[in-house]
Amino acid sequence: MAVSALGALTYNLLPLFYETAQEFHDLSDQQAGLLGSSFFAGFTLASVNAHTWIRKINWRIAGFSAIAVAALALLATPVAENFLLMALLIAVAGAACSVLYGIGTTLLSDTRRPARWYGLKIAGEAGLGALLLWVLPVMVTERWGFAGLVVAIAVLMFALSPLLGGLPTKAVHTAIPESPGQAAAPMSPSLWLALAAVLLYMFSITMVWTLAEHLAVDNGINAVAAAQVLSLGLLLALAGSLVATLADDRFGLAIPLGFSVVLFLVALFLLGQTESPSEYTLAVSLFTFAFGLGIPYVVAIVAQLDADGRHVVLTVPAIGLGVMFAPATGAFLAENGSYVTVLTVGGLAALAAQLFAALALRSGKNS
């Protein structure tokens, strides 16, 4: 789980990353959104064919190498001379983080109860993110801004890298081997639908998550207070993931995912009405609990439908595509419309994710 937490570190700090990068480099809303999207463009491109190599590489060597590349790329971003160079460095960091995330996802897919372990994985990621969102604004970004943030992330990555020593050097279980000269079986329609559900679910929550601090600041809430509310929210995401861990597949996979979408829609409505810190806290708490509960189930649907274990790693580029377009899309909608537009599009994407997930499970059952 440590390897996935490191891979997801920048994602969980995205609101803080967006705000501090915009201030440090005097970026427009759209430039700041594109910077966040650059990270996930690299994340996606590095993992789009991961199903062909993720079970063949040495996971320990790949993990340590990815940490070094990600940390060094992040350290170089504050001194980048122009926006394009900074975006390229951020994309390199994203590519390295996707290797870490892909290893963690594949490792857990080999377990007997993937929904339970994905819940614990998301809980670990959220717990680390909550701690950092609480500490970094007060101790780092308020004084050193964006430069301090990327240095803190790099230092943390190197400090936690010894935990990767517990990784197996290769896959615990290999995918079903192909006969000599036999081509890999094509992906089933149910898997494509399930991956579409992952993409849309991650798009919806990421678009709102990226702008969550910006929304609060524009509504008169102090930036440090907003970051601390988001930190509390990640603890609720941790709680949601623990609920998923305890419930496992007792109620199936579609029902808990649907419950998370309902909570998500309520949270979006409340965010659109936010006028005080207490209202913002309630809305963020519901929002983060909802996605902490939902992510393990939407990924577990893919794992359940992936009979030979080759394709579950494709959830990584599906996540990458969803989050790659989300920051830039959200910034564009907020700048050219309003936060209500952002929240509406996010809600529609979540409903579409639920629909695709239900269709995937039904198609998989009938095949």
Angle at 81 (CA atoms; ends 75, 82), nearest 5 degrees: 105
pLDDT for res 103? 85
Span 2-171+187-366 CATH architecture: Up-down Bundle (1.20)
Please report the pLDDT score of residue 179 as a whole number. 47
Inter-axis angle of helices 339-366 and 189-218, nearest 10:
160
**Residue 216's closest CA among 270, 265, 138?**
270
Q: What's the confidence (pLDDT) of residue 267?
A: 96
Residue 250's SS3 state is: strand
Going by C-alpha positions, the residue among 80, 105, 114 that lies closest to residue 7 is 105
pLDDT in the model for residue 247: 86
C-alpha distances (whole Å) from 58 to each of 55, 99, 111, 359 are: 8, 12, 19, 36
Q: What are 252's strand-pairing partners? A: 250
Per-residue pLDDT of the chain (367 residues; tens, 9 = 90+): 567 677 777 777 877 877 788 787 777 777 877 877 788 889 888 888 877 788 788 888 988 999 999 999 999 988 887 888 988 998 999 899 888 888 887 877 777 776 677 778 778 877 887 888 888 888 888 888 888 988 998 998 898 888 888 777 766 554 444 444 444 556 788 999 999 999 999 999 989 988 888 888 888 888 888 888 988 888 898 889 889 888 888 888 999 999 999 999 999 999 988 888 899 999 999 999 999 899 989 988 998 888 766 677 788 889 888 888 887 888 888 876 678 899 999 999 999 999 999 999 998 776 6
* Triad 117, 349, 326: Cα angle to 5°: 80
Residue range 127-160, pLDDT digits in tens: 887 888 888 888 888 888 888 988 998 998 898 8
Query: How does pLDDT run across 301-347, given as a tens digit for each residue?
Result: 998 888 766 677 788 889 888 888 887 888 888 876 678 899 999 99
Give the whole-angstrom CA distance, residue 60 versus residue 64. Answer: 6
What pLDDT does residue 186 have?
64
